[in-house]
Amino acid sequence: MEPNRADTSGMTQTRHQRRYGRTRQRIIKAARAVFAERGMSGIAIDQITERADVGRGSFYYHFGSIDKLVQAIVDSIIDELVERMERECADKTELQDVLEALIVAHIRYFDDRWQDFVLYYQGRAELTLAMPFEGIESPFLRYMKVIERLVGGAAGELAVDEQKLQRIACSLAGFISGYYSFARIAPVGDNLEAELLPIRASFVRSLVRFAGTESSANKK
Amino acid sequence: MEPNRADTSGMTQTRHQRRYGRTRQRIIKAARAVFAERGMSGIAIDQITERADVGRGSFYYHFGSIDKLVQAIVDSIIDELVERMERECADKTELQDVLEALIVAHIRYFDDRWQDFVLYYQGRAELTLAMPFEGIESPFLRYMKVIERLVGGAAGELAVDEQKLQRIACSLAGFISGYYSFARIAPVGDNLEAELLPIRASFVRSLVRFAGTESSANKK
DNA sequence: GACGAATTCGACAATATTGTCAAGTCTTTT
DNA sequence: AAAAGACTTGACAATATTGTCGAATTCGTC
């Protein structure tokens, strides 16, 4: 009765488990598409199961509620994005390089994946509401923490304090997603990476300078 | 039968027209609150009319459809924001000052008005979808144009080309709203304006530098 | 004060959505 | 090959939402 968690240890997957995983993935894939097309709120279960070509009951068997599904999706998006950030930053040690790499990670990740950007953005938008989908907040916090850690790691002897790190993270994530979203409405060109290059460079420099600033006077 | 457009010429309002306006405003006000709480998609008409303490029929009488209502709301938000930007920029002539003023306009406008920020953000999020609410796009384009005009006006002899102006506008609007939204999740402090000051300054400088850059090599 | 226009109202039928469940299919175990 | 377990299914009853419409109310005008 209780859903069998898919075997993560790789080898010993029984046929049941494979089938379980397949259906689950079908649902997730369909949901990603539907959400990216019409948003997360106000989506009927049927729209998802029908697109996944799966019985209505299966949805409830696997997820039990919309929130769980949204949670799984946002989680995986953030996982992928985080993984990408880690990878791009792996060999960077200079603060400036890390900041560059972080932006590049976002651009590369979202490039040719407008759908995933929409999910990311819709998720963020959800967070502004009074009652967002359950469990959506923590992946985003995790994401912010990763940025802070990567930036903090490269800040080296600058010893940037926690608060400053947070601001840098907000700026960085905010800037890149904000730019991306606007660039889409007012199409400036088709190669976002090339297009962003000069302004990105300026932006990074401004963050570096900010990091170097004396601990800001926020004891108003 | 056809709704009477409220008298905009100020003086000659008949009682009917006033009543018309009152109800209309009640609905809009309630909708703003509901939207800011639960998002724009997936809201039932009843949730709005009940909050407005108005009959269900009145909603259809005034707006006819959700899209029209959303349109009216987004329109007025953008109007207010644009008005604020114009005001803040009124006496500025230097590029740097104008950029500063634009950011300040946003901060001041949204300060203590989280609800309106949510509406603005939800509206933006809608735009990422395949089928956003009808008529939501144009106010946002108008908004971008205003930024471009204000920035372009102050760029003076730099003669920043159209494309560059667009990028600056995307950066500016993206940065401020992105930062704002993240700052809310990972609360850094309570005085956003003071808090943003140093990083804002850096950001503005980076935009100024970008504006001065030789027309970027985007002939890839 | 009565007639028509403007505005408001909420009941109504039509439709959509939800979550459950008993029954069916496939797989593993004994 | 039978029994038990895992997974899937779609029908179902309950509930929610929609857009309409005729009646009620308010208002301006004659």
Check A177 against B173: CB less than 8 A apart: no
pLDDT computed for residue B217 by the predictor: 43
From residue B217, alpha-carbon distances to A103, A191, A194 in Å are: 20, 12, 9
Higher-confidence residue of A116 and A17: namely A116
Q: Are A82 and A146 in contact (CB under 8 A)?
A: yes
Instruction: Look at the domain A7-64 and name its fold.
Output: Arc Repressor Mutant, subunit A (1.10.10)
Check B202 against A210: CB less than 8 A apart: yes
Average of per-residue pLDDT across B182-205: 76
Q: Are A154 and A93 in contact (CB under 8 A)?
A: yes
Q: Which two tokens stand for residue B80?
A: 């207010």
Pick the closest to residue B211 from B173, B162, B160 (CA basis). Answer: B160
Domain A69-212 CATH superfamily: Tetracycline Repressor, domain 2 (1.10.357.10)
Residue with tokens 């809310």: B184
Dump pLDDT digits (tens) for B74-93: 999 999 999 999 999 999 99
Beta carbon of B69 within 7 Å of strand D? Answer: no
Indicate the average pLDDT of chain A: 87
Cβ contacts of A205 on chain B, cutoff 8 Å: 206, 209
Dump pLDDT digits (tens) for A8-57: 554 556 777 777 788 999 999 999 999 999 999 999 999 999 999 999 99
Instruction: Name the residue ranges covered by the structural domains of chain A.
Output: 7-64, 69-212
Residue B27 has pLDDT above 90, yes or no: yes
Average of per-residue pLDDT across B19-41: 96
pLDDT computed for residue A218 by the predictor: 42
Average of per-residue pLDDT across B35-62: 97
pLDDT computed for residue B218 by the predictor: 42
Dump pLDDT digits (tens) for B104-157: 999 999 988 999 999 999 999 999 999 999 999 999 999 999 999 999 998 877
**% of chain B at pLDDT higher than 90:** 62
- The pLDDT confidence band at residue B189, using thresholds 50, 70 and 90, is low
Residue A75 makes CB contacts below 8 A (sequence gap 6+) with A139
Chain A residue with the nearest C-alpha to that of B145 = A186
Task: Give the span between the Cα atoms of A155 and B1, in whole angstroms.
Answer: 67
Dump pLDDT digits (tens) for A73-112: 999 999 999 999 999 999 999 999 999 999 999 999 998 8
Residue A54 makes CB contacts below 8 A (sequence gap 6+) with A23, A26, A27, A30
Task: Give the span between the Cα atoms of A159 and A59, in whole angstroms.
Answer: 49
Instruction: Look at the domain B67-212 and name its fold.
Output: Tetracycline Repressor; domain 2 (1.10.357)
Nucleotide nearest to A17 in CA–C1' terms: D6
Residue B45 has pLDDT above 70, yes or no: yes
From residue A53, alpha-carbon distances to A23, B29, B65, B114 in Å are: 10, 41, 32, 41
Residues lining strand C, beta carbon within 7 angstroms: A 14-16, 19, 44-46, 56-57, 60, 65-66; B 1-4, 16-17, 19-20, 22-24, 54-58, 60-62
Residue A168 has pLDDT above 70, yes or no: yes
Average of per-residue pLDDT across A131-156: 94
Residue A206 makes CB contacts below 8 A (sequence gap 6+) with B199, B202, B203, B205, B206
Task: Give residue A108's identity as a one-letter amino acid code.
Answer: R
Residue B3 makes CB contacts below 8 A (sequence gap 6+) with B20, B61, B62
Pick the closest to residue B97 from B88, B109, B84, B108 (CA basis). Answer: B88
Tell me which protein residue sits closest to nucleotide D6, measuring alpha carbon to C1'.
A16
DSSP class of residue A158? G
**% of chain A at pLDDT higher than 90:** 61
Task: Give residue B151's identity as a one-letter amino acid code.
Answer: V
pLDDT computed for residue A86 by the predictor: 97
pLDDT computed for residue A219 by the predictor: 39
Helix or strand or coil: residue A180? helix
Q: Which of A31-45, A138-152, B15-29, B199-213 has the lowest mean pLDDT?
A: B199-213
Residue B220 has pLDDT above 60, yes or no: no
Residue A189 has pLDDT above 70, yes or no: no
**Residue A92 sits at the chain B interface (C-beta within 8 Å):** no
Instruction: Look at the domain B9-64 and name its fold.
Output: Arc Repressor Mutant, subunit A (1.10.10)
